[in-house]
């Protein structure tokens, strides 16, 4: 039986993010870590971490794509993606910058389930409100302090306090925040890659298994790629899943077109054998969604190394993360 189980309204945000110019021309990359307070009955506290890609639109405005992991509090293991618009003001000869941002936040939350199912994968929408202060060094490095408030009508609200380190992927004309614009990279061409790694089920126990994939990539211009992939998520104690995916990518190139960052999204046609409470429960073919963040480095004329993080988005509580690394041949 073939079943369309994915709630496509949950995937709409990923399509918007894939088309966002912020990622197509990402010029600043930041990784950060800190803490989170859940604004629930017990005000639970946990860790938080994530990363951010930001594109300057002008001297005072920017856009960004953010992934945020909000850690683990009782009954909630949540992360998500945000697309924000920022207003900012450089100070002290553009060495210091203060900014405020706002935008939609699409979250993926593993929550306590019913007796029949120990957990559920809850998808939903919220809003992220942020403030940030950044100090730029003489080099392209900077440090950033940031706070986010996530508000959602159907999930827990949260506050995250983060400290990050970032790097300007394109060299600015002078120290300080970038002011807009980006140089187009080269088309990707055709690349066949073999990758291996691990898959992790988005459950309360995070079951994992060895995973592998084969990917064919074609470049359609300086900003866009397309891929088709065969993926094996391996065998965990709650089942196994394999499938074929087709994705559209938005990407950008840096460092003389040797380093590439990309965001892809598309349908993932899967073949499932799944278990519930360690008892065989059935098999089905399901169309899920696949959202992927990827980085590649061309270390020779025809050889490319690639790291990819895939998020499988389902409507039947079998979301998973697939972390892959591999090598590709460009022809």
- pLDDT for position 240: 87
How far is CA 295 from each of CA 53, 193, 253, 307, 322, rounded to the nearest angstrom? 13, 13, 10, 5, 14
Residue 179 has pLDDT above 50, yes or no: yes
What is the pLDDT confidence band of residue 308, given thresholds at 50, 70 and 90? very high
Residue 20 has pLDDT above 90, yes or no: no
- pLDDT for position 42: 75
Which is it for strands 279-298 and 303-313: parallel, antiparallel or unpaired? antiparallel
Residue 30 has pLDDT above 90, yes or no: yes
Give me the half-sphere count of Cα atoms (radius 13 Å) on the Cβ side of residue 63. Answer: 15
Q: How do the domains of the chain map onto residue ranges?
A: 27-168, 189-275+284-330
Question: Mean pLDDT over residues 310-327, rounded?
Answer: 94
Residue 12 has pLDDT above 60, yes or no: no
Question: Mean pLDDT over residues 307-314, rounded?
Answer: 96
Question: Mean pLDDT over residues 151-168, rounded?
Answer: 95
Q: Which of 180, 87, 171, 83 is nearest to 126 (CA)?
A: 83
In order, the DSSP letters of 175-197 are SSS--S---------EEEEEEEE
- pLDDT for position 4: 46
Q: Where is average pLDDT lowest: 88-97, 112-121, 234-243?
A: 112-121
Residue 22 has pLDDT above 50, yes or no: no
Please tell me the distance from the alpha carbon of residue 72 to that of residue 174, in angstroms, as a whole number.
Answer: 41
Mean pLDDT of the chain: 87
- pLDDT for position 71: 94
What is the pLDDT confidence band of residue 266, given thresholds at 50, 70 and 90? very high
What are φ and ψ of residue 183, in 5° steps? -85, 125
The residues pairing with 322 across neighbouring beta strands, listed in sequence order, are 199, 310
Question: Mean pLDDT over residues 39-49, rounded?
Answer: 86
- pLDDT for position 23: 47
How far is CA 104 from each of CA 12, 43, 51, 80, 307, rounded to the nearest angstrom? 12, 23, 16, 10, 27
- pLDDT for position 317: 87
Question: Mean pLDDT over residues 115-125, rounded?
Answer: 83
Cβ proximity of 135 and 43 under 8 Å: no
Residue 34 has pLDDT above 80, yes or no: yes
Question: What is the CATH class of 189-275+284-330?
Answer: mainly beta
Q: Which of 202, 163, 218, 193 is nearest to 32 (CA)?
A: 163
Q: Which of 271, 291, 24 is nearest to 169 (CA)?
A: 24
Q: Where is average pLDDT lowest: 11-15, 49-53, 167-171?
A: 11-15
Cβ proximity of 148 and 130 under 8 Å: yes
Work out the percent of the chain whose per-residue pLDDT is above 70: 86
- Fold match flag (27-168 vs 189-275+284-330): yes
Question: Mean pLDDT over residues 108-121, rounded?
Answer: 81
Lookup result for tokens 């938005």: 250
Question: What is the CATH class of 27-168?
Answer: mainly beta
Work out the percent of the chain whose per-residue pLDDT is above 90: 65
Specify the 3-state DSSP secondary structure of 11: helix
């Amino acid at each position: 039986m073939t079943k369309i189980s994915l709630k496509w309204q949950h995937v709409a945000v990923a399509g918007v993010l894939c088309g966002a110019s912020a990622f197509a021309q990402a010029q600043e990359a930041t990784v950060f870590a800190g803490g989170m307070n859940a604004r629930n009955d017990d005000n639970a506290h946990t860790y938080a971490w994530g990363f951010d890609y930001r594109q300057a639109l002008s001297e005072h405005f920017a856009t960004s794509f953010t992934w945020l992991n909000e850690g683990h509090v009782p009954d909630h293991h949540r992360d998500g993606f945000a697309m924000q618009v920022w207003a900012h003001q450089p100070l002290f000869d553009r060495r210091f910058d203060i900014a405020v941002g706002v935008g939609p936040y699409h979250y993926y939350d593993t929550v306590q389930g019913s007796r029949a199912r120990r957990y559920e994968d809850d998808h939903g929408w919220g809003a992220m409100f942020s403030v940030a202060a950044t100090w730029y060094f003489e080099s392209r490095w900077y440090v950033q302090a940031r706070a986010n408030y996530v508000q959602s009508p159907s999930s827990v609200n949260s506050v995250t306090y983060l400290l990050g380190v970032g790097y300007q992927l394109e060299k600015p004309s002078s120290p300080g925040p970038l002011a807009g614009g980006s140089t187009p990279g080269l088309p990707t061409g055709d690349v066949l890659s073999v990758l291996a790694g691990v898959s992790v089920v988005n459950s309360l126990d995070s079951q994992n298994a060895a995973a592998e994939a084969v990917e064919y990539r074609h470049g359609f211009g300086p900003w866009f790629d397309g891929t088709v992939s065969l993926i094996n998520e391996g065998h965990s104690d709650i089942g196994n899943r394999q499938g074929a995916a087709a994705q559209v990518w938005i990407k950008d190139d840096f460092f003389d077109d040797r380093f590439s960052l990309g965001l892809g999204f598309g349908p993932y046609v899967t073949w499932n054998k799944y278990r519930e409470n360690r008892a065989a429960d059935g098999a089905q073919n399901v169309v899920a969604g696949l959202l992927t963040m990827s980085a590649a480095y061309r270390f020779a004329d025809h050889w490319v190394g690639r790291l990819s993080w895939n998020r499988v988005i389902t409507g039947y509580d079998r979301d998973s993360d697939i972390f892959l690394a591999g090598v590709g041949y460009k022809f």
